[in-house]
Amino acid sequence: MDSIGLLGSTGTYVYLTRAERRRALEATIEEVAGKVPILVGIGALRTDEAVRLAQDAKAAGAAAGLLAPVSYTPLTEDEVFEHFVTVAGEGGLPLCIYDNPGTTHFRFSSSLIGRLSRVPGIAALKGPAPEAQAVPAQLAALRGVVPDGFSLGYSGDWNAVETLIAGADAWYSVVAGLFPEAGMAIVRATGRGDAAEARRLNARLEPLWTLFKDFSSLRVMYASADLLGLCRAAPPRPILPLPDTARQRVAAVLEALDLI
């Protein structure tokens, strides 16, 4: 793996206390220190809390922070800009912008991304992957507003392969958290310019992408971790585990893909 993304949305960061987040980070650092860089979610409702989470992450040895504009009251672009500037300046940790409108209900405009990309300490973007036909134009538009060396990466596993083929710098993958070989096979194929193989590998995972769309990747990954025997954790309430019928679908797909 090139890096580990800890306490992202699939890591349920927003539901965890500061102490729980610190414990998760310390456990991860203990296992992988010096092997791969760790990007850790530091999003919080309040700016001062996000600053403290960034400071915790830096002190523990994280390489960067993943910051989403978590909110209850809808935020303006100026509010989000100031939030990021403060966390970048006071947290002391390089930041990746986390554009996840499905959960935050805030979408970054290209102009806001351009403004933030020039703030010292803000180094990357994790954004939702668009549909395949829209990828080249969107990626080109973003390249036009950020400085050279600013990393542009995508999440949304079922569309991510096209972003890598188009030249995105990173795939912030959900599936690779439990099935790293499947994720890295796609990354390696795109890295050597074999778009056909990358698309073939991606198409093979279509049954899993369907589960993600039907039940949410979070719930499917919790069920998968249980089916793999890695842990027996239930998602944090009010999120409920998948019902038995859905869990049986997950098990059947994992078996058919030789992932279990």
What ranges do the domains of the chain cover?
A: 1-128
Give the largest Cα separation in the chain, rounded.
Answer: 49
What contacts 36, CB < 8 A, 6 or more positions away?
Answer: 1, 2, 3, 4
pLDDT at 22: 96
Query: d(Cα 105, Cα 245) in Å, to the nearest integer?
Result: 30
Q: Residue 134 corresponds to which amino acid?
A: A
How much is the pTM? 0.96
- Mean pLDDT check: name the lowest of 30-34, 62-66, 133-137, 200-204: 30-34
Domain 1-128 in this protein, CATH class: alpha beta
- Contact in structure between 22 and 40 (CB atoms under 8 Å): no
Of the pLDDT bands very low, low, confident and very high (cuts 50, 70, 90), residue 33 is confident
Looking at the chain, list the stretches that DSSP marks H as alpha helix, in order from N- to C-terminal side.
18-32, 47-60, 77-91, 101-104, 110-116, 135-143, 157-166, 180-191, 195-204, 206-215, 217-227, 244-256
Instruction: Round the average pLDDT of the chain to a whole number and report it.
Output: 96
User: Residue 96 phi/psi, 5° resolution?
Assistant: -110, 125
Tens of pLDDT, residue by residue over 81-135, are 999 999 999 999 999 999 999 999 999 999 999 999 999 999 999 999 999 999 9
CB atoms within 10 A of CB 191: 11
- Percent of the chain scoring above 70 in pLDDT: 100
Alpha-carbon distance of 88 to 54, in angstroms, equals 9
Q: pLDDT, tens digit, for every residue of 194-240?
A: 999 999 999 999 999 999 999 999 999 999 999 999 988 899 999 99
